[in-house]
Amino acid sequence: MANKKPKKSDKVSKPVEKVKAETKTKSEKVVTAKVKGATETKTTKKVVKKKSSSKPKVIASGLSASGILESQPMKGFFKKKGDVDENVLTIFKKPRLYNLLGSLIGEVIGTMFLTIFMMTMGVYQPLYAIFIYIAVTAAITGLSGAHLNPLITAGMMASRRVSAIRGIIYILGQILGAWFGLLIVNAARLAAGSEAELPTMIAIGDGQFWPVTIIEMVGSLIFAFFFARATVYKRSTLTYAIMVGAGYLFASLTVIMISTKYFTLQNNFMMNPAIALMYQILPTGADNFGQLMTNLALALCTYAVLPMLGGVIGFYLSDFTQRLAGDPRK
């Protein structure tokens, strides 16, 4: 009986207990390692966060996240600010095509309303014009941005707020809208049997090219500058419309004072090439063909080309001062 063999269960129990102990030790080590790793990870994250917060984040415009001016304020000045994927190949594809058609209709209708007012009241009614501009701009803003003027569209294209193809289509729509406005005013005048003449603009005579051109360019630059600044507040339709109307009022009053006080001229500015064309500023006759072409080129330069150049300068001036001032808004 003394040489009794141990039970099979006794032989198994000891190794099992040993395995359990070893497993427990390993699991404790793994848990400890995991906790340690997590602690190190958290510490690392904190360090990285501190490092990233120590340097101000620089955005593409050359401004810091806090709006502080960086060493390169002009960085990205000519970067595309509108739809980067819009071009002549994509704009006529759905859904951009629908957006373009809606915007085009808005430009036609808005420019038509402005033309009706100008053809009825004339250019020397700036106090009335501010309310017209506010109302029309507020109504058309959601459709196309309410350019309603080729010089504004030229500035939007040059500052890359809209694509070139969209800008060209807008300008064609503005000319079409101005023509519709002229037709409506003429139809109403003829139906009423009125003998009143439509407001006219004085033709450019000898020695008047540069005075009239300077007046147009100054007014166009001022109006475009205000319009560019208004785009910063485009989220508020009312603020946007008021700034556009106030810009036109200030530009009109400025050119009226310049033209009457220094050049003794009247009815010689428009600051809207599309509406100016409806005032028949293009010559229809001359002594010879060469003279006709010369007069045509001078009229286009005064009332179309150079005012659009003034619009481009106004937009660039707005963007330039915004960069230097460190304004992060776009």
Query: Taking the chain (330 residues) in consecutive chunks of 10 residues, what is each chunk's mean pLDDT?
Result: 50 50 53 48 46 46 49 74 85 90 95 92 82 93 91 94 94 96 91 74 71 91 95 87 94 90 78 91 82 88 93 94 78
Cα separations in angstroms, 330 against 34, 61, 67, 228: 47, 9, 12, 10
The Cα 118–Cα 109 span in angstroms is 14
Q: Work out whether the CA dihedral 246, 248, 251, 253 comes out positive or negative.
A: negative
Q: Which of 307, 252, 248, 251 lies closest to 277 in space, CA to CA? A: 307
Work out the number of other CB atoms within 10 angstroms of the CB of residue 120: 17
Check if the beta carbon of residue 61 is closer than 8 Å to that of residue 323: yes
Task: Please give the Cα distance from 141 to 160 (Å, whole number).
Answer: 18
The two structure tokens encoding residue 231: 């785009």
| Identity of residue 206 | D
Tokens of 211: 């005075």
Per-residue confidence (pLDDT) for residue 259, from 0 to 100: 85
Q: What would the 3-class secondary structure string for the chain be?
A: CCCCCCCHHHHHHHHHHHHHHHHHHHHHHHHHHHHHHHHHHHHHHHHHHHHHHHCCCECCCCEECCCCECCCCCCCCCCCCCCCCCCCCCCCCCCHHHHHHHHHHHHHHHHHHHHHHHHHHCCCCHHHHHHHHHHHHHHHHHHHCCCCCHHHHHHHHHCCCCCHHHHHHHHHHHHHHHHHHHHHHHHHHHHCCCCCCCCCCCCCCCCCHHHHHHHHHHHHHHHHHHHHHHHHHCCCHHHHHHHHHHHHHHHHHHHHHHHHHCCCCCCCCCCCHHHHHHCCCCCCCCCCHHHHHHHHHHHHHHHHHHHHHHHHHHHHHHHHHHHHHCCCCC
Whether a cis peptide bond, with omega within 30° of 0, leads into 95 is yes
The residues near 286 (Cβ < 8 Å, ≥ 6 apart) are 292, 294, 295
The gap from C-alpha 68 to its chain's centroid, in whole angstroms, comes to 23
Instruction: Give the Cβ contact number of residue 169 at 10 Å.
Output: 19
Predicted local confidence at residue 218, as pLDDT: 94
State how far the Cα of 31 lies from the Cα of 37, in Å rounded to an integer: 10
Residue with tokens 């049997």: 193
- Tell me the C-alpha distance between 79 and 82, whole Å: 9
Paired with 64 in beta bridges are 58
The closest alpha carbon to 148, from 100, 107, 117, belongs to 107
Rounded to 10 deg, the angle between the 237-261 and 126-144 helix axes is 140
